[in-house]
A and B are shown apart, each in its own frame.
Chain A
Amino acid sequence: MTPGDKTVVAVILIVAVSSAGLILLWNNHFMASGPVEVVIEVDGQEMRRGSLSVSELGEQYRIRGVVGYSLLEVGDNKIRMVESPCPDKICIGTGWISHPGESIICIPNRIIVRLVSGVDYHYDGLSQ
């Protein structure tokens, strides 16, 4: 192989690897992202499950924990804790969460706000 050939091979490999990366990113971004569901648990009990939207939960969602009332703020496909009776306010410090797998945890008030992938309910066929 001449040095020119080597350059061409190198370019092809670089283009191949980087485009593979782009395709992966593309797939993750557009194909794996489905509706996001929010699950709210108090002391291990599921209190609420629904789509992460203002129309479903309202702009503010109040929950009674073990210590007292906590207040969640719901945004455009995101949610955060804004008031909590806990001493450390770690839950408020978490800020907005918006992706499946993320959660807000308030240990003193025993509240877990978890985001899960709503694509769980996808189905291939419908019995009717």
Chain B
Amino acid sequence: MQLRWIGLTTLFLLVASLQLSGCRGTPPEVRRSEFLLDTVVTITAYGSEAEEAVVAALAEVRRVGGLLDANDPDSEIAAINSKAGFEPVPVGDELFELLERCQYYSALSAGAFDITVRPLVELWAIGTERESVPTAEKIKQALELVGYGKMVLDRQTQSVFLPEVGMGIDLGGVGKGYAADQAREVLREYGIDSALIDAGGNIWTLGLRPDGKMWRIGIRHPRPEGKWKAVAVLPSRDLTIVTSGDYERYFIRDGMRYHHIFDPQTGYPAQELLSATIIGESSTEADILSTAVFVLGADRGMAVVKQLPNLTSLIVTPELHVHAAGPYKNRLELVGKEGTNR
């Protein structure tokens, strides 16, 4: 009789636990956030290896953050900047290759993306206590120190040389994208096939959600009103989505918005667009190109993107018009009324 009761109780508990779990067998979710790269990096992954994978991926982001941090005096980037005007600095394979990629995209975008923009970043100091609108003279002086073409990348010695005192490299336009790509590689090495990486708004989607559906990624509306913070939603599988906008770091003086993405031609914050989004398969490339398109504006920006395969772009103009182009254009779900899918 006692055995029977044990059996019946077990049956009851089994039925109850199946119901509570919904019988769905959802794989375990692991979500971790960390303050890295001047932002918050959140990685969500599913599967039995998720815990180890997420810890390792965040460690990789931390390593990349250190590698690219110009404000860390021990970094290679800081060494290059401090030797500007004096001598070339030998660097490791990883940084050298990344700088080569940056220079390639700088040429492709006619200098709209330029990692030698650091003198302007320092001068405007947006997001710091000393942010202010500099005089035209100061901007002119800083502009003379900006120019990706001046940066010498020597393959023989694998060294980097900035030929003028005061020049400097700032990888703010590519760092989050590169870190997201690296994190994604780590997750893949651990065999993760369902994950979401959010490196301060640079998104990588791996595989499908645990419910078997595509990830749904919102694209931030630059001037959100009402209930939707997104201007569009993209069902996404193995895609990266990166947006550059004028809303992230800025200050307002005399009714003008001064934000952190500079036009290397004028020395002022770029004025053409409110935001530019690139959807592709490399977050490094998407990060660079979202900046380039943001600076170049609708026509010239989209012309650059067209030269590269498999990229989709979405831009929001100062009139709040939305334009999209590329292979995923028709998959984009525009939110609300302010959009034409053309």
CB distance from B318 to the nearest CB of A (A): 18
CB distance from A115 to the nearest CB of B (A): 16
Question: Does A49 belong to the interface (CB within 8 Å)?
Answer: yes
B198 touching A125, Cβ below 8 Å: yes
- CB-CB < 8 A to A5: which residues of B? 4, 8
Q: Which residue of A9, A35, A51, A121 contacts B333 across the interface (Cβ within 8 Å)?
A: A121
A12 touching B15, Cβ below 8 Å: yes
CB distance from A104 to the nearest CB of B (A): 21
Q: Which residue of A20, A49, A123, A128 contacts B19 across the interface (Cβ within 8 Å)?
A: A20
Binds A, one of B50-58, B67-75, B222-230, B259-267: B222-230
B15 touching A121, Cβ below 8 Å: no
Interface residues in B177-210 (C-beta closer than 8 Å to A)? 196, 198, 201-203, 205, 209
CB distance from A42 to the nearest CB of B (A): 15
- CB-CB < 8 A to B205: which residues of A? 125
A9 touching B8, Cβ below 8 Å: yes
Contact (A125, B218) CB under 8 Å given A20-B19, A49-B337:
yes
Interface footprint category on A: 20 to 34
- CB-CB < 8 A to A126: which residues of B? 198, 201, 203, 217-220, 229-230
Q: Which residue of B lies closest to A9 (CB)?
A: B8
Q: Which residue of A lies closest to B222 (CB)?
A: A128
Question: Does A124 belong to the interface (CB within 8 Å)?
Answer: yes
Question: Does A23 belong to the interface (CB within 8 Å)?
Answer: yes
B337 touching A125, Cβ below 8 Å: no
Q: Which residue of B lies closest to A56 (CB)?
A: B226
- CB-CB < 8 A to A15: which residues of B? 12
Contact (A19, B227) CB under 8 Å given A123-B233, A125-B215, A127-B242:
no
CB distance from B42 to the nearest CB of A (A): 9
B19 touching A16, Cβ below 8 Å: yes
CB distance from A48 to the nearest CB of B (A): 8
Chain A, 27-67, contact with B by CB distance < 8 Å: what is the 0/1 string? 00000000100000000000001110000000000000000
CB distance from B73 to the nearest CB of A (A): 31
Q: Which residue of B lies closest to A51 (CB)?
A: B227
Question: Does B11 belong to the interface (CB within 8 Å)?
Answer: yes
Q: Which residue of A lies closest to B279 (CB)?
A: A127
Question: Does A76 belong to the interface (CB within 8 Å)?
Answer: no
Contact (A127, B220) CB under 8 Å given A12-B15, A23-B19, A121-B228:
yes
Question: Does B241 belong to the interface (CB within 8 Å)?
Answer: yes
CA distance A126 to B233 in the complex (A): 9
CA distance A82 to B15 in the complex (A): 51
Interface residues in B1-24 (C-beta closer than 8 Å to A)? 4, 8, 11-12, 15-16, 19
Interface residues in B77-136 (C-beta closer than 8 Å to A)? none
Question: Does B155 belong to the interface (CB within 8 Å)?
Answer: no
- CB-CB < 8 A to A122: which residues of B? 216
CA distance A120 to B336 in the complex (A): 11
- CB-CB < 8 A to B219: which residues of A? 126-128
- Best-surrounded residue of B4, B209, B215, B277 (most CB of chain A within 10 A): B4
Question: Does A8 belong to the interface (CB within 8 Å)?
Answer: yes
Question: Does B65 belong to the interface (CB within 8 Å)?
Answer: no
B233 touching A127, Cβ below 8 Å: no
CA distance A8 to B11 in the complex (A): 11
What would 26 A/B residue contacts be, using CB atoms closer than 8 Å?
A1-B4, A12-B8, A12-B15, A15-B12, A16-B15, A16-B16, A16-B19, A19-B16, A49-B337, A51-B227, A121-B228, A121-B233, A122-B216, A123-B216, A123-B217, A124-B216, A126-B217, A126-B218, A126-B220, A126-B230, A127-B201, A127-B202, A127-B219, A127-B243, A128-B219, A128-B220
Known pairs A9-B8, A12-B15, A20-B19 / 8 extra A-B pairs, C-beta < 8 Å: A8-B8, A12-B11, A16-B12, A16-B19, A123-B216, A125-B218, A128-B245, A128-B247
